[in-house]
Amino acid sequence: MDNNDFNYAIEKLINYGRPHSTIGILMRMLRQKEIINTNLCVKALIQGITSTEETNIIDSNGIVKLISYLENDSSVNQSDLFKIEWGYLRLLVHYPGAYPNYLAFQLASDPKFFCEIIQSIYIPKNEVRKEPPTKAQQQIAENAWHLLYHWKTPPGLQKDGSFSESAFSDWIKNVEEICKKSGHLDIAYDHIGKVLAYSPPDNDGFWINKTIAEFLNRKDTDIVRKGYISGLYNSRGVIQESIDDLGKDDKKLAEGYEKKANELDENGFYIFSESIRGLEKQYDLEAVKMPYIIDELD
C-alpha cells in the first residue's frame, strides 16, 4: 500500500466510526516512516475518545505514540491537541513513559489555566459546597486532579528546555492574585510546591535556580515549602534495596540534603534551608530505623 491507499482506508474507517481500527493503520504508517496526514490522525484520536466501536483490543501504545507524534508537529491545532490530551489524560499519566506534555506546559505557562484547574477541584477556603457536583463537573474535577497529581513541569520552564526567571515570577504573581481573590491560594501553593520539586539548577551551577530559591525562602510561603518537601520525598519513588544495603540509600540522601542545606545557608536562603534540613533529618532517621525493623522481623 502506498500513502494514498493508507489515507483512503483511514478516511473510510473514520466515516464508519472505527477509530481504533484507524489507529492500527496509522501506527503501521509510523513504523514504516510514511508521512502521516495529521488532520486524519487528529480526527481518529478525537473520535476514539468517545467511540463505541466493538473491538477486543485498544492499542494504548499506538495512542500514546500518535499523541507524541502530534505534540512534535507545530502545524497541529492547539485546541485539538488540548482535546486529545484531555480525552486520553488517564492513559497519558499511567502508561509507562507517557506524559501529557501539552497540558503540562499549559499549566506551567498559563496562570489562568492553572487557576481554573485548581478551582475545578477544590471549593474556596472557608466555604461549604452548597450542592453536590453534577456528573460533568465531577468528571472534569477527576481529570483535573490526575493532571495536577502527575504534573512535573515547573512554571518558567520553556519548550526548548531553558528556564525563564521572568516568566516564573510573572506566573507566580498572576496565580497569587487570582487565587487570593477566589479563596484557593493555600491549595495552589501546595501544588506549586510539589511541582517545584522538579526545578532545574541555576545557570551558575547552584543546585536549584536561585529565583525559585528566593520564592521558596519567602516568609509567607511556608505552605509552598511543605509542598516542595512532600514533592521531593514522593519523587524518590519505591526503592528496592537488598538486606545488606538497607538504610544506606537513606544515609546518602541525608548527606546530600545536608550539603544542599549548607549551600542554601551560604547563599542567604536560611528559611528554605531549614526545610531541607528537616528532610535531611527524616532520611537520617529512616537510615537508622530500617535495619532495626528488619532485625525485629527476624
Look up the domain containing 244 and give its range: 236-298
pLDDT band at 132 (very low <50, low <70, confident <90, very high): confident
- 250 vs 160, which has greater pLDDT? 160
Residue 44 CA to residue 49 CA, distance in Å, equals 9
Which band of pLDDT confidence, cut at 50, 70 and 90, is reported for residue 187?
very high
Checking if the pLDDT of 53 tops 90, the result is: no
- Last residue of a domain, which of 235, 262, 278? 235
Within a domain: residue 93? Answer: no
The answer on pLDDT for 258 being more than 70 is yes
pTM of the model: 0.89
**Domain assignment present for 121:** yes
- Burial (CB count within 10 angstroms: exposed 0-12, middle 13-18, buried 19+), residue 162: exposed
Reply yes or no on whether the pLDDT at 5 is more than 70: yes
- pLDDT band at 127; cut points 50, 70, 90: confident
> If you average pLDDT over residues 100-113, what whole number do you get?
98
Q: Answer yes or no: is pLDDT of 290 > 50.
A: no
210 versus 128: the higher-pLDDT residue is 210
Strand (E) or helix (H) holding 280: helix 270-297
User: Considering only 44-53, 55-64, 106-115, 171-180, which range has the smallest mean pLDDT?
Assistant: 55-64
Q: What φ, ψ does residue 18 adopt, rounded to 5°?
A: -125, 65
Domain assignment of residue 81, yes or no:
no
Residues 131 and 41 both lie in one domain: no
Distance CA 58, CA 62 (A): 9
Q: Is residue 94 part of a domain?
A: no
- Indicate if 60 and 113 belong to the same structural domain: no
Residues 165 and 118 both lie in one domain: yes
- Both 163 and 278 in a single domain? no
Q: Is the pLDDT of residue 294 over 80?
A: no
Give the distance between the most distant pair of CA atoms in the chain. 69
Is 161 domain-assigned? yes
107 and 139 housed in the same domain: yes
Q: What's the number of domains the chain is made of?
A: 3
Check pLDDT > 50 for residue 253.
Answer: yes
Looking at the fold, whether 130 and 220 belong to one and the same domain comes out as yes
Give exposure, 43-76, as e/b (b: 16+ Cβ within 10 Å): bbbbbbeebeeeeeeebbebbbbbbebbbeeeeb
The reported pLDDT for the residue numbered 191 is 98
The reply to whether 110 and 228 lie within a common domain is yes
Residues 277, 258: Cα–Cα separation, whole Å: 6
Average pLDDT, the chain: 90
